[in-house]
Structure 1
């Protein structure tokens, strides 16, 4: 079991040497076309320059060097005109140093580009600097300086990416930190950073041309780390998410990386044959893309299931083939020779076992692994020291607080006792005061009730007096109508009768016709007065017909009155019907006398115990703010009748607009 664990650690120690290489799904065609179109159509040299840099970088990564050089040359001609592009050009031109293996100068150029871009405080510059620093961190990792690589990522790159708000770049940076922890065998820490990376990529802008590649790469790395932690259920979820992307692009170079993770997953769950099949698929893909490093890694990965299946001869041949490859890093050669020594030992070939164990020792000494681990341990010790100092400071502060608490306990208890005594006295005072306040409140309530009752009685007296005045005015009007109307006509009729009776000759026909007309007019006038007192239709046919007759009777050639009714019941008490009739009559009389209108709308409706009256005219209106200054009895009588029926009256009018009376009565 111990040997298996060591073997897994060795296998993934070399992960950082190639885990952050550029992968593509080979789906950049639309993005390349859009950049090409921008370069052709834009009138801005700065936009043409930055687009040319991006296009050159894409072609370089796709190994289309001629096209890359063409657009890089175009961009470099434009860049000197713009300070920002000059700084950007340093980064893009430095990329050629990677293919030459000149990592020292590449790191210098990255630092220079970052320094030049510091003066620009834009989101684009923050994101680009974060990406530059990510590449610088990778150089440090390749140079076995993982501590410095970690510092660059955590202290500089991640804060810049957060300023720029690019979630995809943030996910890449957190994945890079996780890879460093994986290389340092800090798998639990790596897992926490990979969780954050997954959260960021799930929230990132899906329209980015590199979104799917970044997402697939993160989940592939996550699978390997989760499998190492024996969290195979979680690893399967990430493997499925990666597969959903890869399956649409089976020939991309990401497929080789995916099959590496899939093979390791099958190995961890004991499906060794499936593991070998996955690794073989990955080897086919990496060979197609001429990715020797990934091919060697996949071959070395096959060693695990072969050994688990006790196929030691196959494992030996695989390792001998890998040792013969000249493209491996020294750390890979160390791993191959060590495992080959174990295989020969298992086969009983002690001579070759000793031979390759000696080679392993020589390579291991040359790598100064212990020194590198010592630096990481020193960094961890420094971190722990700071943490311990913080804990000591906290303990001392806690001890001082405890001492102060002990010294002041007596004072606190004394103060607490004094406060309790004061509170007791305060409660007694409040209790006595509350009793007094209740007595005062009861007396005030009694006085208030008496005042309300007094005001209510006074209001009823006022209403009754107003009704009496209204009735008195009504009597005077009836007397005036009898005296001026019927009285004068009857007097004239009497004179004519006396004249005819004293004449010896028969009355002429015209005189008889005049007497007849005068008599008819008297009868009509008498009926009108009687109708005004209590309409006959109100008594016989009900309120709705009475109101309709009222509107029809008051209508003239100059003034049209429109009557509308809705749901008026016949079971309204007679006294309330008369009251409603008088209210409508008063509103019509006011409109006819004072508004100079040509049209009047009367709308009456009933809803259970509520009765609604609306009277609207198109006359000259009046100032409602002066309504209390009117000396006539019409509006006062109207208000009194509304109040008697516990109603409400709302008036909308002005001196230039129509007048609307809205009345709501409780019947």
Structure 2
């Protein structure tokens, strides 16, 4: 399997170094002493840029100082640049979530001074860190945002070429090879027109990776060799790491293990101190090359080394690949007990990584369901006590009236009648309110139970079927090593293809049941992407939003998302429409959503026949203390209006940590 590509490192280093002119190195202590104004801070940051990838600990020390000094004088450019570089450095230490946090802080400062160049660098940094966390969809999202800005401004074509290359890599990781090659060839064309060796090397390594993934091994080798020829005369360690890493992967695929070993060792030599991610990636290529040579001892030694390093860094993503290869090695040598142990570790670490984000949601759904059940039982007991109290009060009142004289009988009877009537009305109103509240509680519990079941099914698909498919593929790989010529069989290739497609479909279904984008980016971005995904040549969904759509608690966001999702599905299944629009508006803590189509419509009497039933959706909305209005006539389409109060469900914004 080709290594996962980490080409963003060179782009970030190159981009950071371009923020300032490189005049000359100065004594660090002298620069710190002089960095009390913007010019001094800029000079100190320039010194720190020169240290990146050569002395990263000292570089972090410099940027922490520039961050503190910039905050002291309110220098937004200095704070944004310091946060951005710290995000790059901690991200390449494997602290990717911390890298994302730094980049988001940097964006806020760059946006305040309208610094487009800095914003682009933050998008690149966030994309890299999301990719390292295994969140490819979010990574591509930020790369495309950068491309959109640069294509519109028509500035910095070099960075645009590198963003094209990284989007291509992202699509290749998702096996969308047509899109991947389209963006990669744009990167090669633009880099070649600039005649810049750095850009040309990056573009061709990206093309090599995509061709390798799509099994065009000869083309992948040609692209990697071209990248090596264009390495600049002045040594750039990140470019050398990339070029030789992809060259090793390409040589291995054309069954030239000696060449692959030489290239992988050179990549590891340069990345050992400055880039742990690429060090492990190149080491995996070296292990694969030793496997081709049947050098079991060397393969085992390098995998043991990589395992120790990845476990020390708590790098879950790398542990997936390392444990997988160790399991296959033990299986091929007949050590089935160790193979099973490492295969179990592989699934455990992989599950821990992907399941972490769903754990809180599942726990919250379970807690709310239990609470709804307790509330229902409490309401029933309160109703019984109320009925007993009323009966006792009525009995006491009758005794009192019996003792009264005949003189006041008519007056007492009149008073009794009025009071009894009023109490009966009050009791009926209270009883009706309790019944309605019970219905709402039961519906809310049902909704949360459904979401719990979705989470359980998603986990079962991911843990069970996906694991069985992976094990089946491992056994096929074992057959290839033992039976010569099987890999060339059309039946074998078709079987592997079907396994890959089945794995992809299971993963896609799992993510749809518990959407990643909703957890990561919130309701607004999730609905925007869902509308884009379901649009087709015959039915176009337009999505518009106004106001600053906030993040809300996960239960509220998920419930609203499911309601709108069902409305959209009803349009697709029943409306026979060609156009539809989804509009989201937040004003004065009121979230309003309109879903409208130009389809066949329906009479209001038939509203419960559309999909799961608009009446059911109205009940769900009511359970969330919202309201739903429907307008439709035959031939006039359908318009559904939703409204929710958001004051009680908005998340509290996290306070930014002081520098």
| Rg (Cα) greater in structure | 1
Select the structure with the greater relative contact order (CA < 8 A; seq sep ≥ 6): 2
Pairwise TM-score range, normalised by the shorter structure: 0.3 to 0.5
Q: TM-score, normalised by structure 2?
A: 0.48
Q: TM-score, normalised by structure 1?
A: 0.47
